Amino acid sequence: MISRRNVLSGLAASVTAGCAARRTPPPLPGQYPIAPPPPDRATLGLDAVIDISHGVTVTDFRQVRQSNILGVIHKASEGGDYADGACAARRPQAEAAGLLWGTYHYGTGQFSGADQAAFFLAASRPGPRTLLALDLEANDNNPSNSMTLDQAEDFVRTVARATGRLPVVYTHPIWANGDPLPGSGLTFGARVTPASILARCGLWVSDYHDSPEVPFGWAASGWKLWQYAGDESAGRPAYNQTTIVQGVSHCDRNLFNGDATALRQFWGT
C-alpha cells in the first residue's frame, strides 16, 4: 500500500521481546522478508484476499478471480485531500468478475478523524457489501503526520455512525502496542487497549513472519485478516516471489481467518 512498505520491511525484520522463541530468525540487513511457502500457511487461514492501489496495473480481474482470489481491497483515500483515482473505475470491473470489493483509508495526522472518515466515505462510496478499512500505521514519509489514537477512534466512530458498521483496522503489532519502531524509535504514542473502539473492529494485522502476532488490544478476539507478504515493485527482492496472482502486476497477499463461507459472511458486516 502507498506510504507504508519502507516501515513494514523494517518491522518485519525485527522480533519483539518474548516472541523470539516462536519467530523465525530475522533476515540479514538489506534482505526483504519472504513469506513461508503456501503449505506452511495452509492451516492458518484462507489465502484469498489481495490489496492494491493505483500503483498496481490491473489487466483483468477475471484472471484475479481465476487465481483463487475471492476479495480485493483497494486504496480509496489518504488523509483528507487525496483520493485514489483508480478505485471507483475498478470497482464495477472487480464485482463483475465475482470478487468481493473492499476499500481502505490511509490515516494521517493532518486532518481530524471525523473529517478523514467523511472524505473516505465520499471517495469510497461503499455499498452494503463493501468492506471498509482504516490503515493505521506510522507515516514513514512524514512521521509527525501519523494518525493518533484519538483521530483513529474518531474515524471509526464516524464511519460506524454513517454506515451502521465498523471498519476493519489494519496495523502492525509493534505500532498498535505503542512500542518503538526498529531503527527510528518512533512510537504510536499510545497503546490500543481492549477498551478502545478500535479493538471492537476486526483486526487486519500486518506481520511478515511465519505466524502473526496479535496486538494487545485484540488478544481476546484475534485476527480476521493477516497480510503475510508484500510485493511492491520490481525494485524489491520479493517481487514475484510470493504466490503469483494473474491479472495484476503485483499485490499484497492476505489470509482470512476462516473458510470461504465465513469470509463472505464477514465481508461488509
Q: Check residue 40 and give its pLDDT.
A: 57
Digit-coded pLDDT (tens) for 208-244 = 888 899 999 999 999 999 998 876 544 444 455 555 7
Which residues does residue 103 pair with via DSSP β-bridges, in sequence order?
74, 132
Q: Is residue 29 over pLDDT 70?
A: no
Beta carbons of 66 and 86 less than 8 angstroms apart: no
Digit-coded pLDDT (tens) for 11-23 = 444 433 333 333 3
- In CATH, which superfamily holds the domain spanning 43-266? Glycosidases (3.20.20.80)
Q: Which are the contacts of 131, defined by CB distance < 8 A and separation ≥ 6? A: 71, 73, 100, 101, 102, 103, 168, 267, 268
Q: Check residue 53 and give its pLDDT.
A: 96
Tell me the domain boundaries of the chain.
43-266
Digit-coded pLDDT (tens) for 40-58 = 565 789 999 999 999 999 9
Digit-coded pLDDT (tens) for 145-164 = 999 999 999 999 999 999 99
